[in-house]
Amino acid sequence: MGHLISVSGARAESPSVLYDRFRGSVFQIQVIDKGSANKTSIGSGFLLDGHGLIATNYHVVSAHIHKPEQHHVRLLEQRRGLLDAELVAFDVIHDLALLRVSDLDASPAFNLASSVPEKGDRIYALGNPLDLAMTIIEGIHNGPVESARYQQFLFSGSLNSGMSGGPALNPDGQVIGINVAKGQEQISFLVPVHFLKKLIGNIPATLATADYHQLIEADVRRHLSEYYGKILADAWPLEPLSAYQLPDSLDATVKCWGHTLEKGKSLYDEIHRHCQTQDSIYVSQDLSIGYFSYDYSFLRSGGLNSIQFYNLLAQDFSADGFHNATQSQVSTINCRDRFLEHVFGKWRVTSCLRRYHHFEDLYDSTLVAQRIDLPLSSLRINVTLAGISLAHLKQMHHRFLEQVQWKK
């Protein structure tokens, strides 16, 4: 039987027994470039049933999904070498994919856990790191990541490149999550197994390569519409920044930081608040979508005259902030600059827009609004929205400007 250990009052298998039991059921997944016949990316996958159904990550096989005419997927089996794999389902939002290898002769299949481990329980991640060999990593389950838009478990263990798509097991050998990403040192992330169960329950009868982009677009559009729609439907709390009350804590997925910069000889100082999402949707190597941020900067001066201060505002005005997409994915940037009379004060406002080539009615946008009517103080607002519809975009811009409050 091997060694046994006690976990949470139950007797469970040791890491060495888990390794020996499942080493033949965890595979290296390779995406092969058809032209060179060499692999372009690798990851891990694991056996789900006796019919060659394999779980892995969407990002592991994304090169094939986007260019199936240039790439195909293979599985490296210990005894028989490389075997062709067919993509049968994927979930771009939760970074999951299912493959089938028709002539795979491997066992045992993994069982999927019906419950989530307690926070602090030991768990074990398996995979093929750095194109070396199958490895087991012991770590601690730390529960859901509180600020994640796409639910993930926090794993105190070091997942390395190539382990993506491998299973994370409880001490009974049941899958509780799928390896997905490494954070900083000894911090990694897992996709909860219930998303994999849902994907298995919705495998289409056929999945043609012509359907790949349509499925990605539908899932991305639906998710982002729900995300931005929820933020717009919620009440926006206001928090003070100097003499202003500003929208803040708009969603649990947004984290905020602040700091103050003091320039020498009391020329001026800046109070900053930076708020942004911690994740986005990985679509391809050229595109991540769904980023959202808003920044506030309050400037005041005791050592500049009004002309010097206005020149400082002009230098501080910037409408950049686009990222996470290459030119093949998005159009050129178009900007509009105008002056706006608010309920109080006068503002310079610039809004910039670029559209996605392959996602109809989705855009990236930046909004920069800067108050310019006070001689020695100013507030600047920067809002960046990635993957938003025009209808939601207009509401977002209007609401950020509408809800600013100022006390003289």
**Domain residues of the chain, as ranges?**
4-207, 218-406
Separation between Cα atoms, residue 30 and residue 52, nearest integer Å: 16
- pLDDT of residue 330 exceeding 70, the answer is yes
Separation between Cα atoms, residue 288 and residue 150, nearest integer Å: 14
SS3 251: coil
Measure the CA angle with vertex 386, ends 385 and 390; round to 5°: 75
Select from 5, 28, 24, 25 the least CA-distant residue to 15.
Answer: 5
Query: Is 161 buried (19+), middle (13-18) or exposed (0-12) by CB count in 10 A?
Result: middle
Which position has the token pair 């299973």? 167
Query: Does CATH place domain 4-207 in 3.90.1150.10?
Result: no
pLDDT of res. 311: 87
Main-chain dihedrals φ then ψ at residue 277, nearest 5 degrees: -70, 155
pLDDT of res. 316: 76
Class of domain 218-406: alpha beta
Cβ(34)–Cβ(70) below 8 Å: yes
Average pLDDT over residues 227-234: 96
pLDDT digits 0-9 by tens, 296-309: 999 989 888 888 88
pLDDT digits 0-9 by tens, 163-189: 999 999 999 999 999 999 776 667 899
- pLDDT of residue 8 exceeding 70, the answer is no
pLDDT digits 0-9 by tens, 19-41: 889 988 999 999 999 999 999 99
Separation between Cα atoms, residue 45 and residue 40, nearest integer Å: 16
Select from 134, 146, 66, 55 the least CA-distant residue to 101.
Answer: 55
pLDDT of res. 350: 94
- pLDDT of residue 12 exceeding 70, the answer is no
Residue 93 tokens read as 């939002």
Cβ(399)–Cβ(236) below 8 Å: yes
Indicate the pTM of the whole model.
0.90
- pLDDT of residue 11 exceeding 60, the answer is no
pLDDT of res. 191: 96
pLDDT of res. 407: 83
- pLDDT of residue 2 exceeding 90, the answer is no
Cβ(150)–Cβ(281) below 8 Å: yes
**Residue-averaged pLDDT of the chain:** 89
